[in-house]
Amino acid sequence: MISFSDKVERFTIVSSTQDVAKKRATEGAPEGTVIVAESQDHGRGRLGRRWISPPGGLWLSVVLRPSINPPRLARVTVLAAVTLALSIREVTGTDAGIKWPNDILINGKKVAGILTEAAISHNRVEHVILGIGINVNIDTSVFPHDLLMPATALRDECGGEVDIEALLMAILKNLKREYDLLGRSYENLVDVWRKFSVTLGHKVKVSQTGRFIEGKAVDLDEDGALLIKDENGKVVAVYAGDLILLR
């Protein structure tokens, strides 16, 4: 099988690497096609939120064609989170942790985010565009103060510039390895997720389009949903939303 690093297309600036990757995917680009840009002028987060993407960060999107059923799509975010935590730890030696569903934190601050956008037709996943944004060597002190949570950059957490290319290569290597295991060894992936999780065992509040679910985060299920036990002991599976760590 060809490695993901064989199909990297690089740009100085794009609107969003998600848009370029999506275009490639609909034109039939093979799995593992990677779009990387030095900056984005319309980078986006979930629910169309703005993602700040100046030069000095790592902004990429990967075309995936996973053979999983649509209800299991959250597994791709689990895969990406594990890949990012592993790769950031490998390259920088920092203590990168996973905050469900799509944040990578160091010292309680967001250093990276994940965005998955899927095309589904006839109840089949056609492709998933996996977007990854990492604040590597950028100045986050100029970011607006109304971010969802405090932001940081790898440079600030490890006290020096980080090699963006080395980080990209680590991500593509780890992503490929974990992706090959996605369908047959999901439990192993979840084991690593549990190890890096900064969510499990905490009291959390998840907001989902106006609705709140509060309780203790107890585990991930086989779909990649977070299991939250409420005060009555009832366990609810949550597939998406914004999570606040209460304690």
Which residues fall within 8 angstroms of residue 22, CB to CB, at 6 or more apart? Answer: 61, 117, 119, 129
**Residue 199 binds to ligand BT5 (criterion: CB under 6 A):** no
Question: In this chain, which of 32, 97, 113, 224 binds ligand BT5, going by CB under 6 A?
Answer: 113
The stretch among 48-56, 90-98, 196-204, 207-215 that binds ligand BT5 (CB under 6 A) is: 48-56
CA distances, 156 to each of 38, 44, 105, 159 (Å): 19, 23, 13, 5
**Residue 133 binds to ligand BT5 (criterion: CB under 6 A):** yes
Which residues fall within 8 angstroms of residue 28, CB to CB, at 6 or more apart? Answer: none
**Residue 72 binds to ligand BT5 (criterion: CB under 6 A):** no
How many residues of this chain bind ligand BT5 (CB under 6 A)? Answer: 28
State both tokens at 34: 């990677």
Per DSSP, 234 falls in state: -
Question: In this chain, which of 25, 52, 84, 204 binds ligand BT5, going by CB under 6 A?
Answer: 52
In the bound state with ligand BT5, the residue whose beta carbon lies nearer, of 212 and 229, is 212
Secondary structure of residue 21 in the 3-state scheme: helix
Given the rule CB under 6 A, which residues bind ligand BT5? 16-18, 40, 43-46, 49-53, 59-61, 102, 110, 113-115, 131-133, 135, 147-148, 151
